[in-house]
Chains A and B, each alone.
Chain A
Amino acid sequence: GAVVSQHPSRVICKSGTSVKIECRSLDFQATTMFWYRQFPKQSLMLMATSNEGSKATYEQGVEKDKFLINHASLTLSTLTVTSAHPEDSSFYICSARTSGRTYEQYFGPGTRLTVT
């Protein structure tokens, strides 16, 4: 149980285009989802927290107009990187948490974004 999927696993896009990454909880309802960014040889940095049906809360330094997060249902959250630039190339990971198990997050496999 507690499986989280991400799609796509890898995406290459041209500079200036937008890319959407999906995060799904497959067998549980995720009241809260988190989006992280991981640079090579570095730790996971939290970008934003999204609660179903409400606006995402962004961490300091994360541009909310560039990284659009939508959490429209209890099983799906999306991250859209708008007007992507090469410096946005990174590994994006989502995690999901249920209301009943406040402290445990389940992680998706990640999405490798390369902007050319």
Chain B
Amino acid sequence: AQSVSQHNHHVILSEAASLELGCNYSYGGTVNLFWYVQYPGQHLQLLLKYFSGDPLVKGIKGFEAEFIKSKFSFNLRKPSVQWSDTAEYFCASLGGTSYGKLTFGQGTILTVHP
């Protein structure tokens, strides 16, 4: 079965620090990859997505992610975080035997101190 793993459960940073959240997926075929963010008390929102083409994907709010097929990774990055980036981040994949269904990682809670 397809799986998605996120390496860090909780990341704590100070404002202006750089961020990288790890995500690895298991399926070796064509996959579509997503990063979602869930701010406290709010619903899941799409940050960015990768379908094909340029492996470096830019999303909203200054986030970007790089698809590295050889490493089965899709890490999320932001050069300088803000306090308002405090949220939970989920990596998800769509594809393979789970056609049409999103498979989510465990989530990473990001806390940014001002």
Interface residues of chain A, those whose CB is within 8 Å of chain B, are 4, 32, 34, 41-46, 49, 93, 95, 102-105, 107-110
Contacts and interface: CB of A to CB of B under 8 A. Distances in A.
Contacts of A105: 102
17 contacts: A34-B102, A41-B9, A41-B107, A42-B106, A43-B104, A43-B106, A43-B107, A44-B44, A44-B90, A44-B104, A46-B101, A93-B43, A93-B44, A102-B100, A103-B49, A104-B46, A109-B42
Given A49-B100, A104-B46, 4 more contacts: A43-B105, A43-B107, A44-B90, A44-B104
B73 to A, nearest CB: 18
A106 B102 CA distance: 12
A103 B32 contact: yes
Contact of B43 (A49, A103, A110): A110
B94 interface: yes
Given A32-B100, A43-B104, A46-B102, A104 B49 contact: yes
Contacts of A44: 44, 90, 102, 104
Nearest to B105: A43
Nearest to A94: B43
A102 B101 CA distance: 10
Contacts of A107: 36, 43-45
Contacts of A32: 100
A32 B101 CA distance: 11
Contacts of A93: 43-44
A21 B33 CA distance: 29
Contacts of A103: 32, 49, 51, 94
Contacts of A108: 43
A66 to B, nearest CB: 21
A104 B103 CA distance: 13
Interface string B44-58: 111001010000000
Contacts of A95: 44, 102
